[in-house]
Each structure stands twice: as structure tokens, then as C-alpha cells.
Amino acid sequence: MREYESTLIIQPEISDEGVAALQARLDGTLEGFGTIRLIYDDLGKRRLAYEIQNFQKGRYLMLRFLDSGSSIKAIERALRLEDSIIRFLTVQVDDAVEDVAARRAEAAEEARVRAEKAAERAAREAEEAARQQAEGVAAEKRAAADAEETDGEEPEETDEDDEDDAPVAAKSKRKAAEAVRAEEVSR
């Protein structure tokens, strides 16, 4: 037996139920040819390098399976006929898999690890979204409070003494800028 990997790009607007139905159809196709499915992984939506069939994004799926090699053309034909798949690529990963049961066990462990990582990533993304939402709410409250404070106040009057301090401030800014320039030149 040989190990193959198919990477599929499906239409981005397909729902999770639609993806599950597509997976069931692919499993049926693989079983019909006597192929052993090892790993099925949903890699999520990603931006495409170029537009394909008027899609700028696509949902990536990865499928690994064991087959003798005789049914690859028929499997690719079934993938080509599926309307929701916009691109696919099948490559041979391993030339000879001797112990199929051991490879299945490895694949099951790999799928479990990937699922755990996906769950952790989803939890982090949810926490980040909640934190950003809380920050947005806090910023809106501060902006509303600042707006209420400025509505009730009269504009401040400037003293004539402030005008006398303006040339002094300008001189100190010029001196600081000259010091920075001199430091840059010395480097």
C-alpha cells in the first residue's frame, strides 16, 4: 500500500454541515475503491494567492489515505465532478506502507493532537475576541464620559503670561532639536 495526501480547496461559503456532507461523500467514494482513510483535517479559510472561479478565499481540507495506486485516477475524477471543490492536488507521501494497522494508529494519534491544538487555538481566539470587545466597550464609555465633561464646561481663557512663555518654549525645542542633530552627526 502507498500513502497519498489530497489537498482540497472548496468554496468558502460552504457551511460546516456542507463540509460534513462533502466529507461523507468523499468517505463513500474512498470506501467504494477499497481505500483506507487515515486523516481528514479542516485547515480553515485562507486567502488565495490568485482568484479562482471568482473566489478570493477558499476553505482548505487535507485528506490522507492508503491505496494501492490503481484507483487514484477514479478518485481524482470524483473530486473533479464535485461542484464545491474549486481545486485539488493529490501527491504520494510514502512509497510503501508495510504495517497498515500501525500507520492507522499513528494517524489516529496525529488527528487527536491536531484536534487538541485546534480546540486550544479556538479558545485563544475566543478569549482575544472577548478581550477586544471589552476594550471597545471601555473605550466607548471613556469617550462618552469625556463628551459629558466637555459639554458642561466653558472654554478656558488664556492668560497673557502664557504668551510670554511661548518664545521660551520654542527656544528650548530648537535647542533639543540641535542637540539631536549634533548627536546624529557624531555617530
The CA-CA-CA angle for residues 92, 90, 93, to 5°, reads: 20
Sheet with 55-67: strands ordered across: 36-52, 55-67, 2-10, 85-94
Q: Is the pLDDT of residue 39 over 70?
A: yes
Per-residue three-class SS string for 59-71: EEEEEEEEECCCC
Q: How confident is the model at residue 86 (pLDDT cuts 50, 70, 90)?
A: very high
pLDDT in tens, 118-146: 888 888 888 988 998 888 888 888 888 87
Contact in structure between 41 and 8 (CB atoms under 8 Å): no
Q: What is the rounded distance in angstroms from the CA atom of residue 118 to the CA atom of residue 124?
A: 10
Q: What is the pLDDT of residues 153-174, one digit of tens each?
A: 555 555 555 555 556 666 666 7
Residue-wise pLDDT tens digits, 175-186: 777 776 666 666
Cell of 92: 504520494
Q: Which residues pair with 58 in a beta bridge?
A: 46
Strand residues in the chain grouped as ranges (E): 2-10, 36-52, 55-67, 85-94
Taking the C-alpha atoms of residue 22 and residue 63, their distance in angstroms, rounded to an integer, is 12
The three-state secondary structure class of 57 is: strand
Percentage of residues in the chain having pLDDT higher than 70: 83
Give which of 61, 173, 38 is closest to 109, Cα–Cα.
38
Q: Residue 8's closest CA among 70, 103, 75, 108?
A: 75
Q: What is the pTM of this model?
A: 0.63
| Residue 6 CB neighbour total at 10 angstroms | 20
Residue type at 6 in one-letter notation: S
